[in-house]
Amino acid sequence: MKSLLLTIVLFSCTSDPLSEVDFLIGTWKIEGKEQYEVWEKNKKNELTGSSYKLNGNQKTVTETLTIKTDGNRIIFEATVPDQNEGKTVPFTLNKAIKSCLSFENMEHDFPKKIQYEKIAEDEIEVTVTGDEGRGFSYSQFKQ
């Protein structure tokens, strides 16, 4: 019994720190639009992704994304080609918020928070907010 307990404790200590964001893996379609967000796990155990629009057969990437660890922090990075001089903007996961993944950068002009709430296995709610909670939200459905 002691060895079983030790094995469980050791396994839980070495678990994947990004496992809490793994539900994002896959292709998600924004409700009512031809806009998508796709996430994959790479060999470095990071999630990489992009947002894109479809216009007929034309795919236009609007944003590249990464979720990775930095020490004991989980960082969401977004790069939008025509914003922030094309520079990547980091957002840190606020682990105190348990109801959703709340990636925050209070120094950024907009957004200050990007939140992903798992509604069901195939549905997430994304909320993007700035000063005084102003922003927008939308539902995405797994494809």
Tokens (6 digits) for 48: 């990489």
Q: Dihedral angle at the C-alpha atoms of 99, 122, 62, 67, nearest 10 degrees?
A: 50
Over its length of 143 residues, how does the chain's per-residue pLDDT go in tens digits? 544 444 444 444 447 789 999 999 999 999 999 999 999 999 999 999 999 999 999 999 999 999 999 999 999 999 999 899 999 999 999 999 999 999 999 999 999 999 999 999 999 999 999 999 899 999 999 99
Q: Which residues contact 45 (CB under 8 A, 6 or more apart)?
A: 16, 18, 69
**C-alpha span between 22 and 105 (Å, rounded):** 22
* Residue spans per domain, the chain: 18-142
CATH number of 18-142: 2.40.128
